Amino acid sequence: MAATLSDKLVVAISSRALFDFEEENRLFEAGDEEAYMRRQLELVHQPARPGIAFSLVRKLLDFNTAEAQRVEVVMLSRNDPASGMRVFASAKAAGMRIERGVFTRGRNPFSYLRPLGAHLFLSANEADVREALSIGFPAARVMTDATPAGDRYPREVRIAFDGDAVLFSDEAERVYQDGGLPAFLQHEVSLAATPLAGGPFKPLLAALHRLQQQADASQMRIRTALVTARSAPAHERAVRTLLDWGIAVDEAMFLGGLDKGPFLREFEPDFFFDDQTGHVSSAARHVPAGHVSAGIANAPPANTQEIQ
């Protein structure tokens, strides 16, 4: 009988998101692929330093026990197969059981998310993230210069999400972009009892909810937060949407446009996801953060033609 990942939370992650390969990556970006590969082979027995998503991955893997393997982490990388040896060696040295990987030697790896059935794809490559989102997979570009996660909650996976265009669709954001705050508030108040459609990260939130229900909370648990620029009265539709989905978050912050960074610093997530680059940059000064290039805020500018 063939092995299957259908009963697990599946995280696909690039080597630069999991480990600090920024120095080596400069060789790759300079176009010297052979020098990059040689350097990785030279360092194959030298474990790489943790990357920005390291804490998140390590804690998720801690949900696995001898009796039940509930989380699968798969390397999905533009690295060449030879360089992939250092990735696996670094994971082993860190005590991470990562056994599967796809290495594409510079080619786009995102299409392999389909056979993996991934619930999350983390990469430092913006183009791969956009493509993954376009085919329906939760994905974020890891800010490799972000602040690493703290260590105050070793038995708790802490994840924070923005609302519109991340957990929820960008319906309300489109109204805001078109008509400003008054139109947004009127729209959300009038539709307070109508649940928002799911956004790109709803599948991840649902998978985390299932994982928490399956796991022994005395060993590892998940704590989630909704961190949104919404404020009252627009908060109601967001709360009612989560109730309609049957998925609870542990904390909700309705900040009304306040800088999210200081609030995330206090929550101390292992990762924060947002579609707005300004919020991601603010968050990255305090916590691990990723940009979700989805929704109207990330749409390419419309082509314009000069009027003759």
Name the residues annotated as catalytic: 162
CA 93/CA 103 separation, integer angstroms = 20
For residue 209, with 0-12 CB atoms within 10 Å meaning exposed, 13-18 middle and 19 or more buried, which class applies? Answer: middle
Strands 289-291 and 271-274 come out as: parallel
Q: Alpha helices of 32-170 — where are they, by DSSP H? A: 33-42, 54-61, 81-93, 113-116, 126-134
How far apart (Å, rounded) are the C-alpha atoms in residues 55 and 287? 11
- Least Cα distance to 244 among 280, 204, 196 occurs for 196
Pairing of strands 120-123, 9-13: parallel
| Residues present in the chain in total | 308
Distance between CA atoms of 175 and 264, rounded to whole angstroms?
Answer: 27
**Closest Cα to residue 200, out of 137, 255, 243?**
137
Please list, residue by residue across 175-208, b when 16 or more beta carbons sit within 10 angstroms of its beta carbon and e when fewer do: bbeeeeeeebbebbeebbeeebeebbbbbbbebb
d(CA 283, CA 168): 20
